[in-house]
Amino acid sequence: MSNREFDVVIYGATGFTGRLVAEYLSNEYGKTVAWAMAGRSEDKLKAVRDEIGAPADTPLVVADASDPASLKAMAERTRAVITTVGPYQLYGEALVKACVEVGTDYVDLSGEPAWMHDIISVYGEKAKASGARIVHSCGFDSVPFDLGVYFLQEHAKAKTGKPLSRIKGRVRAMKGTFSGGTAASFAETMKRAAKEPQIIDWLKDPFSLCEGFEGPKQPHGAKVIFEEDLNAWSAPFVMATINTKNVHRSNALMGHAYGEDFVYDEMFMTGPGEKGEQFAHVIANDRSMQDNPPKPGEGPSKEERETGFYDVMFTGETADGQRFTASVKGDKDPGYGSTSKMITECALALVKDVSRDQTPGGVYTTAPALGDALIKRLSEHAGLTFAIEG
């Protein structure tokens, strides 16, 4: 790996999110990281390189999802690939295959559990053999949630010697938009489910990424509820179906570090009283993701990205009633500004911080693959704050 030309290649650098990744990498790391921009058109790559103010000598790599040989040639030149080219169930497998074949690390923004289920089944053992670390869901789904649970559990274990068997993930505040890629991925998943009925079962099953493990019954989080212990109303959270699956996979990959009886759910917390109840119903009845989704390649303005934020709480109780609470906060809009920074730091954590002795080849989520190294990077570079409250 040390003789590879690049540390990181950004595949899809001319897309909306890929461009943000390239801009962040250029501004934050400059010449300290050997990186390249990749995509289908060299002319478009040159234009984006100049638009974002990246150095004129930034290497450009032409590669196309419809040309497997070009993907393999790209993967052979780099230690890790960042891919923002989704929906991954349409454009992702050929790149995973190329990276697995040549032992190259890979990070994506997938929130597509049926596709991830396939990748685990087909490439899990092959990735272990080649040493490639394939890490899914390296954006807003599911980094703040996966690492938030991990962060709280590490604190609880340090204090009590045991993990928390029940944690609630609650979004307390959020300003920003979901990406066009997220909406397109959702649409593709629904199309596939219409042809393959078992997909619906995978989507419903919180343990569908746990390779045969079946844990205890989980809260469904599908309707508005009042939570006495939080003194607040809570509404369904649109990312919960993917985030909860990733959290349970993390637990399984870490040898059930949270326990085999671990229960976890996510909702959007809207506060107490009549106002909280009304807001919860507004969120529960929102259909903009289905009825008026953003288009892939489009996104919010720079001002909208800069003024966005999120605040997620994680709280759990021990058997004897001790409550522990943590928060994860981000300083940019979740779907673009923060996501572009998170996926970059995931790739850099793989190539700079986490050896193959610590994290050998395989198909991963972020907590077992990157853990404390990623929390440190996100805190120092990417505007995320991890804190224990109370």
Q: What is the C-alpha separation between 293 and 158, in angstroms, rounded? A: 43
What pLDDT sits at residue 30? 86
Beta-sheet strands, E only, within 57-195:
60-62, 78-83, 105-107, 133-135, 166-175
DSSP 92-113: THHHHHHHHHHT-EEE-----H
Residue 158's SS3 state is: helix
What pLDDT sits at residue 196? 84
Question: What percentage of residues in the chain have a pLDDT greater than 70?
Answer: 97
Is 134:123 a contact under the CB 8 Å cutoff?
yes
What pLDDT sits at residue 14? 95
Residue that is written with structure tokens 């992702």 in the block: 92
DSSP 194-226: HH-THHHHHHH-TTTTSTT---S------S-EE
- The residue ranges of the chain whose pLDDT is under 70 are 1, 178-179, 289-294, 296-297
pTM: 0.95
What pLDDT sits at residue 182? 72
What pLDDT sits at residue 237? 95
What pLDDT sits at residue 146? 98
